[in-house]
């Protein structure tokens, strides 16, 4: 066996250093904080040297175009619609003089991404409480003010726009976020609240909530956490409470949200990592569906051990959002975390 590894040919050439002159000048002009606001392009755009194009449909993102050669490949976008894709002869730049032209350097065009599981839109500085909406009180694990005993927290009410993190995310292709209320102990999975509240689907490039089309869905999902906790309610108590909330509704705002989950019109996002907890949630889902006679929308958020139940989750039509992307067994309940990618989920019947 040859102990010397063979490097790829592309690794034998030094990378081309980008030109950061404009960024350097902006940093000086704005004393270190250049504006991050999105720039609107109102003219026809031409993207040259494009290697591939991905478009989204009802079944997900699909590769619809791939350059046949490494030579010039152009994409003409008019009024937000791709009207020309092809070689320099088919989409010649000479025909688009004066238009906005961007050299992608063999990059790809793809749909914008959506963030899930972060506090984008609810905070400016993570460790400074005065710059965020603040953590919600949990009615199961702590005290709630009597005036909101039957209420439920909605991220929509505390949205913060034009924050640095949101604008940076927008500039790098993450243009929207499904943001849930901040949990009592962000970053500590043992203290994530039971009833976290209602998430909101929002755009990250806006200046304030009243801009048209900024909030794409006010009530995106109902977030609940079922976890092994160092103190407080046991897992069985948490699941019993969730069952009661799903099967017994009142006319309060909280009751209306759980009624919507029961009726199959609102997604129940479950923060869960452990195999046994997820299995109990699947059993609870089936129990609710027997009574309601409609499919229940459920998504597992976290899912360190979902690979052990991949076929069951797929057959139950339960979505999975793995967070963090690079799993690691930080806690006992995630000790069987799958750290080798999503292939085992695909084998189990999941689609991506």
pTM: 0.84
Is residue 282 within 8 Å of 309, Cβ to Cβ? yes
pLDDT tens digits, one per residue of 195-234: 899 999 999 999 999 999 999 999 999 999 998 876 678 8
The sheet carrying 195-203 orders its strands as 113-116, 174-179, 195-203, 215-225, 267-272, 298-302, 319-322
**What is the model's pLDDT at position 340?**
60
What integer pLDDT is reported at residue 106 of this predicted model? Answer: 81
What are the per-10-residue average pLDDT scores of the chain (352 residues)? Answer: 64 78 89 82 77 82 77 70 75 70 83 90 86 82 66 91 92 93 60 84 92 93 88 86 92 92 96 93 96 96 88 92 81 77 56 57
**17-109, CATH topology level:** Urease, subunit C; domain 1 (2.30.40)
Coil, strand or helix at 81: strand
CATH number given to 113-347: 3.20.20.140
Residue 265 to residue 257: CA distance in whole angstroms: 10
| pLDDT tens-digit series, residues 251-287 | 889 999 999 999 999 999 999 989 999 999 999 999 9
Is the separation of the CB atoms in 88 and 71 below 8 Å?
yes
Helix locations, 17-130, DSSP H: 21-29
Give me the pLDDT at residue 322, please: 86
Q: Residue 252 to residues 225, 228, 256, 267, 320: CA-CA distances in angstroms?
A: 21, 29, 6, 19, 29
* pLDDT value of position 327: 77
pLDDT confidence of residue 186: 42
What ranges do the domains of the chain cover? 17-109, 113-347
């Amino acid at each position: 066996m040859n102990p010397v590894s063979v490097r790829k040919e592309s690794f034998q050439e030094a990378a081309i250093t980008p030109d950061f002159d404009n960024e350097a000048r902006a940093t000086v002009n704005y004393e270190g904080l250049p504006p991050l606001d999105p720039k609107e392009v109102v003219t026809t755009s031409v993207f040259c040297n494009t290697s591939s194009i991905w478009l989204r449909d009802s079944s997900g993102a699909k590769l619809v175009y791939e350059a046949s050669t490494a030579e010039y490949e152009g994409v003409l976008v008019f009024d937000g619609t791709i009207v020309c894709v092809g070689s320099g002869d088919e989409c010649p730049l000479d025909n688009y003089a004066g238009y906005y032209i961007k050299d992608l350097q063999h990059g790809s065009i793809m749909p914008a991404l959506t963030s899930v599981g972060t506090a984008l839109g609810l905070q400016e500085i993570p460790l400074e409480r005065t710059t965020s909406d603040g953590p919600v009180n949990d009615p199961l694990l702590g005290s709630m003010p009597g005036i909101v005993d039957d209420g439920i927290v909605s991220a929509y009410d505390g949205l913060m726009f034009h924050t640095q993190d949101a604008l940076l995310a927008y500039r790098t292709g993450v243009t929207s976020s499904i943001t849930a209320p901040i949990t009592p102990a962000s970053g500590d999975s043992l203290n994530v609240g039971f009833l976290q509240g209602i998430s909101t689907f929002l755009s990250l490039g806006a200046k304030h909530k009243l801009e048209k089309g900024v909030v794409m869905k006010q009530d995106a999902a109902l977030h609940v956490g079922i976890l092994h906790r160092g103190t407080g309610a046991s897992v069985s108590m948490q699941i019993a409470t969730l069952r009661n909330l799903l099967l017994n509704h009142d006319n309060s705002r909280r009751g209306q949200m759980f009624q919507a989950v029961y009726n199959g019109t609102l997604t129940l996002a479950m923060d869960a990592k452990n195999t046994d907890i997820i299995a109990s949630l699947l059993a609870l889902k089936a129990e609710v569906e027997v009574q309601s006679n409609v499919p229940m929308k459920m998504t597992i958020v976290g899912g360190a051990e979902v690979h052990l139940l991949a076929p069951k989750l797929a057959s139950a039509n339960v979505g999975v959002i793995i967070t963090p992307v690079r799993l690691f067994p930080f806690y006992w309940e995630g000790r069987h975390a799958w750290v080798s990618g999503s292939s085992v989920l695909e084998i189990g019947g999941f689609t991506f």
